[in-house]
Amino acid sequence: MKQTTKKIEDLGEFGLIRHLTGDITLKNPETQKGIGDDAAVLKYGGKFILVSTDMLLEGIHFNLIYTPMKHLGYKAVVANLSDIYAMNGIPKQIFVSLAFSSKFSLAQIENLYAGIKLACDNYNVDLAGGDTSSSVTGMSLNIAVIGEAEKERIVYRKGAKKNDLICVTGDLGAAYLGLQLLEREKKIFLSNPEVQPELEGYDYLLQRQLKPEPRAEIIEFFHKENISPTAMIDISDGLSSEILHICEQSGTGCKLFADHIPVDPETERLAAEFNITPLVAALNGGEDYELVFTISPGEYVKVKDHKQIKTIGHITARKDGCNLITHDGLLVPLQAQGWDAYSKRPQR
Q: What is the pLDDT along the chain (348 residues), one digit of tens a residue?
A: 455 666 766 655 555 556 565 556 666 777 777 667 789 999 988 889 999 999 999 999 999 999 999 999 999 999 999 999 999 999 999 999 999 999 999 999 999 999 999 999 999 999 999 999 999 989 999 999 999 999 999 999 999 999 999 999 999 999 999 999 999 999 988 888 878 788 889 999 999 999 999 999 999 999 999 999 999 999 999 999 999 999 999 999 999 999 999 999 999 999 999 999 999 999 999 999 999 999 999 999 999 999 999 999 999 999 999 999 999 999 999 988 754 544 543 333
Instruction: State the fold for domain 8-153.
Output: 60s Ribosomal Protein L30; Chain: A; (3.30.1330)
Q: How long a stretch of residues is the chain?
A: 348
Number of H helices, E strands in the chain: 10, 13
Domain ranges of the chain: 8-153, 165-333
Q: For residues 162 and 121, what is the distance between their CA atoms, to the nearest angstrom?
A: 40
pLDDT score for 348: 39
Q: For residues 164 and 166, what is the distance between their CA atoms, to the nearest angstrom?
A: 7
- Using an 8 Å Cβ cutoff, are 173 and 270 in contact? no
Q: Pick from 130, 45, 51: which is nearest to 89 by CA? A: 51
pTM of the model: 0.89
Domain 165-333 class, CATH top level: alpha beta
Phi and psi at 7, nearest 5°, equal -100, 150
Q: For residues 24 and 20, what is the distance between their CA atoms, to the nearest angstrom?
A: 8
- Using an 8 Å Cβ cutoff, are 214 and 120 in contact? no
Q: For residues 295 and 229, what is the distance between their CA atoms, to the nearest angstrom?
A: 5
Helices 265-273 and 203-210: angle between axes, nearest 10 degrees: 100
